Amino acid sequence: MIAGLVLAALAAPAAEYTWSAAKVGAPSGGASPAAQEPVVLRVMTHERWFAGFAYMEQVTEQFEREHPGVKVELISSSGGSGSRDKIKFALAGDLPIDVTWIDVTEFSSFLEEEVLVDLQQYFDADAEWHEEEYFASILAGMKDTRGHLYGLPSTFNPYVMYVNRSLLAEHGIAVPADDWTWDDLLRIARQVTRDLDGDGRSDQFGVSLTQWLQAITPWIWQNGGRLLDENGRVALDEPATIEAVAFLQSLLHEEKVASDDATFANQLSVSLFQAGRVAFYGPVGFWESYRFREIQDFEWDYLPLPRGKQAATAVAMRFYCVPRTARHPQLAYEFVRALAGPVMQRGLAQIGNGVPGLISAARSDAFLDPDTPQREEVFLQVLDGARFMPIRVNWAEIQDQSAALLEQALLLNTLSAEEACRRAAAAANESLQRRAQIRTRAPLGKGWFLAAQALVPLLFAAWLLLRLPRRSRRGERHAWMFLAPWAIGFVFLLAGPALVSALLSLSEWSPVQDLDQARWMGLDQYRRLAADPTFHASLRVTLYYALLAVPLQLAVALGLAMLLQRPARTQGFARTVFYLPAILSPVILGAMWRWILDGDLGAINSGLAWLGLRGPDWLKDPSWVVPSFVLMSLWTVGAQMLVFLAGLQGLDPRQIEAARMDGAGRWRRFVHVILPALSPILLFNLIVGLINAFQIFAQPFVMTQGGPGNESRFLVLYLYDQAFRYLRMGYASTLAWVLLAMVALLTLVILRTSRRWVHYAGRPR
Amino acid sequence: MIWLLIVLFLLPLVWMVALSVQAQGAGLEAGMASFPQGVHPENYAAAVEQMEGFWHLVGNTTLLTVLSIGGQLFCCSLAGYAFARMRFAGRDVLFMLVLGTMMLPPQVLAIPQFLLYRELGLIDTFYPLLLPTLFGGAPFFIFLFRQYFLSLPAELSEAARVDGCGHFRTFFFVMLPLARPVVGTVAIFTFLATWNDFWSPLIYLNSPENQTLTLGLAAFNQSYRVAVELLMAASSMILAPCVLVYFLFQKVFIRGVRLSGAKG
């Protein structure tokens, strides 16, 4: 029966499997509609559970009707890596994607990598294209410096403020006018902030501040600050910017009238705004109306952001574009037009996804919806002050770096506004300079990588060829037949790549480029790593985790093993249970522990609250996040425990008995007899534990994405970021080698010193 | 004491299953540790429905798992036998090399391997996940096979040779059947490692039709439109085969882990 199941399971995906294997090798081109095979247009967009997916299908069906012989395949952009990065994996793997959506903040990096098709020629050739049908200020976000248009908007989201009208009315405060100011915000926030339950901590706030970089930039612009100066340098350290960040920091930590529940990571939880405990929420886009429409208990509305020295706002947006890997660019262009057409635009507006970029749809009732009490027109009103991130700069990495630094000022209050801004600017400019520097280096040429990959296999083959005929012993030839699968793997998949990795660590290459574009950087890479503040943070966090987790794991594993030592029925059952968590996938582990450790609703804190205690906000508190991961790891020490148990059961009972006769108590027997006898096993578990601790990845990837700040950006997580988010395969390889060197060094030190404390049976102590 | 610990270790799993049958939204409403209100097994059906192509993911993961087990067994048993029972120059040096590669963090090789498979046009296929099992295998499994073959009496293979069996027939018909315990251990560990793997599918598998359960779950976990209860239902379903195998083959498991420490 099991065989039947396996066969059944094999049958279905096996077809896909061969298909996908064949697909990669398929020749590009062949876009001719006369071809007999149906043309497949591969489109990477919304997840299938997205509320607007039905409109997507509607557009697709119509497109297929109008283009006989064309089949549109909708590919969800979700799946492990997160929708922002998935397209990068597709581009890096040279997979055929005809249309994709990208976040406007990524536009500059895609431009720089030259992975998008310049659609201007297609627009020019299209008689039905009328640029004036879309908001000019929105299209501006999708144009390069020459004014060429690269895509069309799905919907866009200017940042505004949400206001709880009922709460203001309750406190006798009038809803501010559209031209309200920072001072108004502060004044009202002070009036509203209260400690309702009298526990000494405020639980009703003036404002719930969003804190990702795009949400912070409006404050900077309003205060007359700028992201870039006229020389193209990141200007986050200019006084106007520092002043804006300091204002936010004071709202949060001095005035204490702002709550910090609205971080990006927190969007999953019920916000204070939904709970009716905060007067203003923002800066944030129209997308929140999707979940706020369910609010029954109070009236709310939209307001423009309060003005500083001027009115300004940022715009969040995803747009549809055509990547370089498209097999059918003309059809892809036409599908982009269809996606940005009235059906999708009105539909998405209706479900509260964003503001339509198509003017007629934005001015229609689908968006302005007179039936709702809210004033949707506010979003159109603020368009005058709307700006995008400058496209001359690659923001992908800068955004993450500065977000982590600004988080330290705003969320954690561990840095002053000035210091955070200064460091963010320094890091950003370093990153810019480096990108410029990479471009000046000479390309390395594919040949070097090929040589590195082939060197070991060639040497190995030569050695075998020289050796085998000379001795010509049958036994030896047979042995090599047995070893062949292993040896092939060893030379091609291990030794070759190891050399390639060493070469990569001395160069820089973006996986969306051809390998010929790799550039030689030499030891610069290692020098840069030594000075990289994010690497320092990452190293510190990883070492801290290892230092805490490894000894505790050993202690817990040994303790459990000692408990299991006596053979009894309970012990057998207990052994089963103690090992059980060790079989969990780290992804499941992450998914469940995120909700066990959640600050407000988590199982642990709910339990503690029941006892009248208040637990920490485990994963969001910088001093608790690493211990949280340690705690999780202690739950999964099953393997180490079993190894200890085997060792304990191999002990010579006479020796322990002898110690007992000599009058040694439990503790002395443990320290002087059991522990020395177990020391070889202790050494083994120590080294394995250490290696595992340095490789922790999936849990923080699933649970915290490295935050808060950089407090859980473990080394492998940073390596992944560098390789697949910022597309720096070279620098990531540098990191990998430093990681390897550190693990090897630590292991060596432990092995060296182990001679003093490890006692092998039969040898004198 | 021991019972307290048993409860403590079981609690998170029991909590997960309990939460998975709560009414959708109950956790966010009343906290994750509130007392269960009614049982909603239909959450499982809802989770299957909301997770994109759930059965397809199951199929992919199963296929990968079965093929990986086959690959590991083939490669590691042959290599282990050669290291244990055959004579060739450089045997001991090579075996040290095998053990040495155990220390290598997979991330060091991840990038150049990605590059290699990319140049071969194999990204978004199962090959990058399968080739390393068939060619190379896991050093630890080679070690297990070698130790086991070493422990078998030499007369056995010699008797087979006298009866006219070649090396291959001796191996496949005499020695390998005797190594059943190690075969079981390797199969089960490979099952768990492949079923639970996140890193390789994350890097290599892109199209929805090629993805695995762990990727599906990670995507599920990122979507804030998914109720926590459904997330737990999906997690429970993905975990179930592992638990089943664990309880069925517990002895094999425990022997395997112990063997791993034996060289300490």
- Does the pLDDT at position A505 exceed 90? yes
Span B234-251, average pLDDT? 91
Token pair listed for A376: 């949707």
**A472 contacts in B (CB within 8 Å)?**
none
pLDDT tens sequence across B185-222: 899 999 999 999 999 999 999 888 889 999 989 888 87
pLDDT tens sequence across A711-723: 999 999 999 999 9
Instruction: Residue A562: name the closest of B264, B2, B3 by CA.
Output: B2
**Of A10-19, B50-59, B175-184, minimum mean pLDDT range:** A10-19
Residue B81 in 3-state DSSP? helix
* Distance in angstroms (rounded) separating the CA atoms of residues A460 and A719: 31
* Count of beta carbons in the 10 Å neighbourhood of residue A332: 26
Alpha helices in A223-376 (DSSP H): 239-249, 289-292, 329-339, 342-350, 359-362, 365-368
**Listed residues A343, A363, A384: the one ending a domain:** A384
Could you tell me the end-to-end alpha-carbon distance of chain A, in angstroms, rounded to an integer?
A: 57
**A695 contacts in B (CB within 8 Å)?**
105-107
Dihedral sign from CA coordinates of A125, A126, A130, A135: negative
Could you write out the three-class secondary structure of A125-153?
HCCCCCHHHECHHHHHHHECCCCCECEEE
* Distance in angstroms (rounded) separating the CA atoms of residues A448 and A516: 10
B46: Cα within 13 Å, side-chain hemisphere:
17
Q: Which strands sit side by side in the sheet containing A278-284, from one edge to the other?
A: A258-259, A205-209, A278-284, A160-164, A300-303
- Total CB pairs under 8 A between chain A and B: 384
DSSP A156: E
Token pair listed for A305: 């952001």
Tell me the helix, strand and coil percentages in chain B, rounded to 5: 75, 0, 25
Amino acid at residue number A263 = T
* Distance in angstroms (rounded) separating the CA atoms of residues B195 and B209: 17
* Count of beta carbons in the 10 Å neighbourhood of residue B245: 18
Residue A443 in 3-state DSSP? strand
- Does the pLDDT at position A156 exceed 50? yes
Give the angle A201-A205-A206 at the CA atoms, nearest 5°.
145
Report pLDDT for A670.
85
**Listed residues A351, A369, A384: the one ending a domain:** A384
- Residue linked to tokens 């990571």: A265
Mean pLDDT (chain A, rounded): 85
Domain limits for position A165: 160-315+385-438
Both A740 and A597 in one domain: the answer is yes
Report pLDDT for A33.
45
Task: Tell me if A135 sits within 8 A of A160, measured CB to CB.
Answer: no
Domain ranges of chain B: 2-262
Q: Give the list of residues 6+ apart from residue A183 with CB closer than 8 angstroms, or none.
A: none
Report pLDDT for B104.
78
Amino acid at residue number A221 = W
Give the angle A693-A694-A697 at the CA atoms, nearest 5°.
85
Task: Tell me if A611 sits within 8 A of A530, measured CB to CB.
Answer: no
Token pair listed for B125: 């296929």
Span A508-529, average pLDDT? 90
* Distance in angstroms (rounded) separating the CA atoms of residues A512 and A112: 11
**Listed residues A473, A500, A520: the one ending a domain:** A520
A198 alpha carbon, distance to own chain's centre: 39
| Most confident region among A9-13, A395-399, A489-493 by mean pLDDT | A489-493
Question: CA distances (Å), A569 to each of A126, B141, B223, in order?
Answer: 79, 31, 44
Report pLDDT for A36.
59
Could you tell me the end-to-end alpha-carbon distance of chain B, in angstroms, rounded to an integer?
A: 30
- Does the pLDDT at position B38 exceed 80? no
Task: Tell me if B220 sits within 8 A of B231, measured CB to CB.
Answer: yes
Backbone dihedral region for residue B121 (phi beyond 0: left; psi -120 to 50: alpha; all else: beta): left
Instruction: Residue B40: name the closest of B16, B12, B20, B25 by CA.
Output: B20
Identify the band that residue A29 occupies on the pLDDT scale cut at 50, 70 and 90.
very low
Token pair listed for A295: 């609010």
Span A542-546, average pLDDT? 96
Find the helix or strand (DSSP H, E) in which A279 lies.
strand A278-284
A277 alpha carbon, distance to own chain's centre: 30
Both A138 and A110 in one domain: the answer is yes
Span A482-500, average pLDDT? 92
Residue A212 in 3-state DSSP? coil
| More confident site: A301 or A348 | A301
Domain CATH for A138: 3.40.190.10
Residue A510 lies in a domain: yes
Instruction: Residue A350: name the closest of A335, A340, A362 by CA.
Output: A362
Instruction: Residue A698: name the closest of A680, A714, A709 by CA.
Output: A714
- Selected for mutation to probe chain A from B168, B221, B226, B259 (highest A CB count within 10 Å) is B221
**B258 contacts in A (CB within 8 Å)?**
642-643, 645-646
**A746 contacts in B (CB within 8 Å)?**
none
Both A191 and A168 in one domain: the answer is yes
* Distance in angstroms (rounded) separating the CA atoms of residues A87 and B110: 19
Both A637 and A565 in one domain: the answer is yes
Identify the band that residue B134 occupies on the pLDDT scale cut at 50, 70 and 90.
very high
Interchain pair B63, A270: CB under 8 A? no
Both A585 and A732 in one domain: the answer is yes
Question: CA distances (Å), B214 to each of A276, A347, A589, B201, B202, in order?
Answer: 37, 32, 11, 8, 9
Report pLDDT for B260.
61
Report pLDDT for A76.
79
Token pair listed for A90: 């597709």
**A265 contacts in B (CB within 8 Å)?**
none
For residue A638, the chain B residue with the least C-alpha distance is B257
For residue B138, what are the β-bridge partners?
Answer: none
Residue A91 lies in a domain: yes
Could you write out the three-class secondary structure of A487-518?
HHHHHHHHHHHHHHHHHHCCEECCCCCCHHHC
Token pair listed for B152: 């078998």
| More confident site: A434 or B64 | B64
For residue B248, the chain A residue with the least C-alpha distance is A576
Task: Tell me if A318 sits within 8 A of A199, measured CB to CB.
Answer: no
Question: CA distances (Å), A646 to each of A347, A411, B179, in order?
Answer: 64, 48, 21
- Selected for mutation to probe chain A from B8, B64, B135, B211 (highest A CB count within 10 Å) is B135
Identify the band that residue A18 occupies on the pLDDT scale cut at 50, 70 and 90.
very low
Identify the band that residue B101 occupies on the pLDDT scale cut at 50, 70 and 90.
confident
Identify the band that residue A764 occupies on the pLDDT scale cut at 50, 70 and 90.
very low
ipTM of the complex in this document:
0.91
Token pair listed for A255: 């005035």
Domain total in chain A: 4
* Distance in angstroms (rounded) separating the CA atoms of residues A565 and A576: 13
Identify the band that residue B130 occupies on the pLDDT scale cut at 50, 70 and 90.
very high
Amino acid at residue number A370 = P
* Distance in angstroms (rounded) separating the CA atoms of residues A109 and A103: 11
DSSP A473: -
Residue A21 in 3-state DSSP? helix
Residue A763 lies in a domain: no
Instruction: Residue A259: name the closest of A303, A307, A193, A304 by CA.
Output: A193
Q: What is the CATH number of domain B2-262?
A: 1.10.3720.10
Cis peptide before A342 (omega within 30 of 0): no
Interchain pair A583, B242: CB under 8 A? yes
Instruction: Residue A305: name the closest of A274, A276, A278, A284 by CA.
Output: A284
Task: Tell me if A417 sits within 8 A of A720, measured CB to CB.
Answer: no
Report pLDDT for A333.
95
* Distance in angstroms (rounded) separating the CA atoms of residues A402 and A424: 5
* Distance in angstroms (rounded) separating the CA atoms of residues A123 and A127: 8
* Count of beta carbons in the 10 Å neighbourhood of residue A190: 13
pLDDT tens sequence across A270-300: 578 888 889 999 899 988 887 788 888 899 9
Task: Tell me if A135 sits within 8 A of A343, measured CB to CB.
Answer: no
* Distance in angstroms (rounded) separating the CA atoms of residues B174 and B153: 12
Interchain pair B171, A732: CB under 8 A? no
Cis peptide before A218 (omega within 30 of 0): no
* Distance in angstroms (rounded) separating the CA atoms of residues A238 and A678: 61
Report pLDDT for A5.
38
Residue A187 Cα, gap to closest chain B Cα (Å): 32
- Selected for mutation to probe chain B from A40, A271, A592, A640 (highest B CB count within 10 Å) is A592
Residue A27 lies in a domain: no
Torsion of CA A54, A59, A63, A65, to 10 degrees: 60
Identify the band that residue A24 occupies on the pLDDT scale cut at 50, 70 and 90.
very low
Interchain pair B142, A724: CB under 8 A? no
B2, B126, B228: residue with CB nearest A17? B126
Report pLDDT for B158.
77
The greatest distance separating any two alpha carbons of chain A, rounded to the nearest whole angstrom, comes to 100
Domain CATH for A636: 1.10.3720.10
Span B80-102, average pLDDT? 87
Interchain pair B257, A643: CB under 8 A? yes
Both A550 and A411 in one domain: the answer is no
Q: Give the list of residues 6+ apart from residue A653 with CB closer than 8 angstroms, or none.
A: none
Identify the band that residue A761 occupies on the pLDDT scale cut at 50, 70 and 90.
low
* Distance in angstroms (rounded) separating the CA atoms of residues A344 and A52: 8
Dihedral sign from CA coordinates of A408, A413, A415, A419: positive
